[in-house]
Amino acid sequence: MASFVSTLLFLLLAVGGIKPAVNQPTEPMCFDWGESSDQGVSVLEGEVGWLSCPLFSHPSVYNYSSTQSTGHNLFWYRLPEGHDLEQPLTYSSRISRDGVRLWLQPSSAADTGLYICMLRNKTSCSKMAMRLSVLRPSKVLRANDCDPPVAWESTRQVIPFQKGGTMDCPDLKEAGKMADNNTTVTVTWYNKCKRPPFVGGNRQLRGVSLRVHIMLGSYEGLYFCTVSYQRRGRPLNFTRSINLSAVNPPGLPKIPTILNPAKEQIFTVKQDSEVRLVCKALLPYLEDTPWDLWWTVDGKTLDKLPDRFSKTNRLLSDDHGDRTEESVLLIQDFSSEDLNREFNCSVKNEEGVQTRRAALQLEVWVPSVELGVGLGATLVLMLLLFIIYHVFWLELLLLYRSWFGTDERHTDDKEYDLYISYARGSEEELFVLSTLRSVLENELGYSVCIFDRDSLPGGTITDETLSFVSRSRRLLVVLGPGYASRGSQALLELQVGLDSMARGGQLRVILVQYQPGGGWGLVRELRSARVVLALVRWQGDKSRDLTSRFWKRLRVELPVRRGGGRGEEGGKGLRLQSQNSTNSQTGLITNSIKHPQKVFQAAA
């Protein structure tokens, strides 16, 4: 007898050992699906909200009507924030059950937490959890302060341009089921902080709906609707939003088109690398009808091809429902055999299909980097030369002359290097006698003829002037405001000089402008000759330094004088002391270059 009992006990234990998950003898083990992968539900504090048992979001697995027929009951539990023990819900007029739903009429901040719905009959049980967040209205992000706070994402609605459409507040039917029988459900609409009637009369209330008679672009945007009702005498409400957009109306061509690859487009590909082929297509708006954008390789879709072929699709733009979609075909380790494959991109909607082949071409190796560097270096060099020439052309000219210029003293029999003409008794006289003369004679080593100093008393002025000018290599005309009016002697000198130059006598006239706008326009003789004459401008203190532009320009115009050695004439900061200048350069070439500056400019 005892052995029988122990055997029975053993059997019981063994059976128990096979089913260790059974908590209580009367209750089956509950299959836990965990927390729903959905985002959960958000409700505004004080508004109506509801939870739907997530088990039934997959009707092929759990179907409410069929579970009722197999004797299942639905239970709700709650895991408040910060607790780890689930508690059965206590129902009230505020928290109630209706089919698969749990209602909060209204919600309160303390309702936040994890909710578990359990489906159970005598032999089977399963459960699933979902999250509820009750948001404070002040914490909800809003585009405008006057917009009502909304806990839900906005519903999208489209109305074609120039067509009509009706907006209904989402979830309005749910309120109708809950409201007291002898009460009405009301809806309040808002758009851009305004309530109906809207300006223009194109958008009107129709009962609880908002009717748009003719859709315009300015009607696009967010609309808010608050549904209010009474339950057991208690006023309740919830708010939703609708994002209204205009779409291109029907009647326009709706056949999809491939924008890329374009008709004659050729993709350049590299062997043994990753190749990306981009296909872009325009899909005109066609309500919510199906469409597709896909690649085929030799007529096969990608799912029938090795893994090294893959694609990614994305929306590039949405212009009032006309979508530009992109599909990128990615080919790993592109081989030479792939080059012969047929890569086709196709797009399809309800109205038509288009296919285009992507033409491929192997990339020809170009020494692009080397070429680029070489080209860049050449450009930089050219730019450098250009800058050097423009900034230092005077220096370059002087340097050139010091090497190749001819000393005119060896080729003519003139006595003076230059004759200075100026208006006597004028402002510039001091400049001529103190600055110009002393620098030219003492610093630069020129022999200077100044009529008033070098003429002998008693001679005829005209004859002497003629004689002096003809014995000079250059005539330096210092122009000041008084030149035309005061300088009869100066004008004579100028006349003689210009005549001599015109006759081809070895004399050149150089103009030195002592003051800006210094009156040479008034000198009739100069107007016609100005173009062929060199003009050097004195720029006040700026020109005092021997290295300034003024002196360099002047030296270019004056006969060649060599200083202490070769090349020094072009040097900066050089003080030329060359009374006893030596000259060894009397080559034939240099003889022919009378006007080095002109030669230089012609070369540029």
Ligand X SMILES: *[C@@H]1O[C@H](CO)[C@@H](O)[C@H](O)[C@H]1NC(C)=O
Which residues participate in catalysis according to the annotation? 493
> Residue 192: which H helix or E strand, with range?
none
Closest separation in Å from C-beta 5 to ligand X:
31
Residue 85 φ/ψ, nearest 5 degrees: -120, 125
By the rule CB under 6 A, 299 interacts with ligand X: yes
Closest separation in Å from C-beta 104 to ligand X:
13
**Nearer CB in complex with ligand X: 333/342:** 342
**Nearer CB in complex with ligand X: 220/464:** 220
Closest separation in Å from C-beta 71 to ligand X:
4
Binder to ligand X among 123, 138, 340, 528 (CB under 6 A)? 123
Which are the contacts of 96, defined by CB distance < 8 A and separation ≥ 6? 102, 103, 105
Q: If DSSP states are collapsed to H, E and C, what string results for 127-158?
A: EEEEEEEEECHHHCCCCCCCCCCCCCCCEEEE
Which are the contacts of 409, defined by CB distance < 8 A and separation ≥ 6? 559, 583
By the rule CB under 6 A, 182 interacts with ligand X: yes
**Nearer CB in complex with ligand X: 143/456:** 143
Total Cβ atoms within 10 A of residue 476: 30
Closest separation in Å from C-beta 114 to ligand X:
25
Residues 384-423 that bind ligand X (CB under 6 A): none
By the rule CB under 6 A, 319 interacts with ligand X: no
By the rule CB under 6 A, 228 interacts with ligand X: yes
Per CB under 6 A, the segment of 120-128, 439-447, 535-543, 564-572 that binds ligand X is 120-128
**Nearer CB in complex with ligand X: 322/499:** 322
Binder to ligand X among 133, 202, 344, 489 (CB under 6 A)? 344
Taking each helix axis from N to C terminus, what angle separates 488-502 and 461-470, rounded to the nearest 10 degrees? 40
Per CB under 6 A, the segment of 178-186, 206-214, 411-419, 588-596 that binds ligand X is 178-186
Six-digit token pair at 14? 């063994």
By the rule CB under 6 A, 504 interacts with ligand X: no
CA distance 4 to 10: 10
- Note the Cα 445 to chain centre separation in Å: 63
Per CB under 6 A, the segment of 180-188, 479-487, 560-568, 576-584 that binds ligand X is 180-188
Binder to ligand X among 59, 88, 459, 540 (CB under 6 A)? 59
CA distance 276 to 309: 10
DSSP codes joined into one string, 266-316: EEEE-TTS-EEEEEEEEE--BTB---EEEEEETTEEGGGS-TTEEEEEEEE
Residues 531-590 that bind ligand X (CB under 6 A): none
**Nearer CB in complex with ligand X: 255/546:** 255
Six-digit token pair at 577? 């002391």
**Within 13 Å, how many C-alpha atoms sit on residue 306's CB side?**
6
Site string for ligand X, 23-52 (x = CB under 6 A): -----------------------x------
By the rule CB under 6 A, 63 interacts with ligand X: yes
Closest separation in Å from C-beta 246 to ligand X:
9
CB distance 525 to 491 below 8 Å:
yes
Six-digit token pair at 271? 């062997």
Six-digit token pair at 292? 């597709």
By the rule CB under 6 A, 93 interacts with ligand X: no
**Nearer CB in complex with ligand X: 240/553:** 240
432 φψ region: left (φ > 0), alpha (ψ -120 to 50), beta (else): alpha
By the rule CB under 6 A, 357 interacts with ligand X: yes
Residue 110 φ/ψ, nearest 5 degrees: -75, -10
By the rule CB under 6 A, 434 interacts with ligand X: no
By the rule CB under 6 A, 361 interacts with ligand X: no
Per CB under 6 A, the segment of 85-93, 235-243, 394-402, 471-479 that binds ligand X is 235-243
Q: If DSSP states are collapsed to H, E and C, what string results for 307-376?
A: CCEEEEEEEEEEECCEEEEEEEEEECCCCCCHHHCCEEEEEEECCEEEEEEEEEEECCCCCHHHHHHHHH
Binder to ligand X among 52, 133, 154, 202 (CB under 6 A)? 154
CA distance 512 to 468: 19
Q: Is the dihedral of CA 314, 317, 322, 324 positive or negative?
A: negative
CA distance 334 to 318: 33
Closest separation in Å from C-beta 66 to ligand X:
4
Residues 236-265 that bind ligand X (CB under 6 A): 237, 243, 245
Closest separation in Å from C-beta 51 to ligand X:
20
Closest separation in Å from C-beta 158 to ligand X:
8
- Note the Cα 570 to chain centre separation in Å: 49
Per CB under 6 A, the segment of 222-230, 326-334, 383-391, 477-485 that binds ligand X is 222-230
Binder to ligand X among 3, 24, 26, 65 (CB under 6 A)? 65
Binder to ligand X among 181, 528, 580, 592 (CB under 6 A)? 181
By the rule CB under 6 A, 186 interacts with ligand X: no
Cα of first residue to Cα of last residue in the chain, in angstroms, is 129
By the rule CB under 6 A, 209 interacts with ligand X: no
Site string for ligand X, 268-297 (x = CB under 6 A): ----------------------------x-
- Note the Cα 58 to chain centre separation in Å: 47
Binder to ligand X among 342, 350, 363, 454 (CB under 6 A)? 342
Closest separation in Å from C-beta 87 to ligand X:
25
- Contacts with ligand X by CB under 6 A: the residue count is 31
CB distance 474 to 508 below 8 Å:
yes
**Nearer CB in complex with ligand X: 121/411:** 121
Per CB under 6 A, the segment of 31-39, 176-184, 250-258, 544-552 that binds ligand X is 176-184
Pairing of strands 472-479, 416-421: parallel
CA distance 143 to 326: 31
Binder to ligand X among 52, 96, 133, 226 (CB under 6 A)? 226
The DSSP bridge partners found for residue 49 are 104
**Nearer CB in complex with ligand X: 222/330:** 222
Please give the residue ranges that form the binding site for ligand X (CB under 6 A): 46, 59, 63, 65-66, 70-71, 121-124, 154, 180-183, 188, 222, 226, 228, 235, 237, 243, 245, 296, 299, 342, 344, 355-357
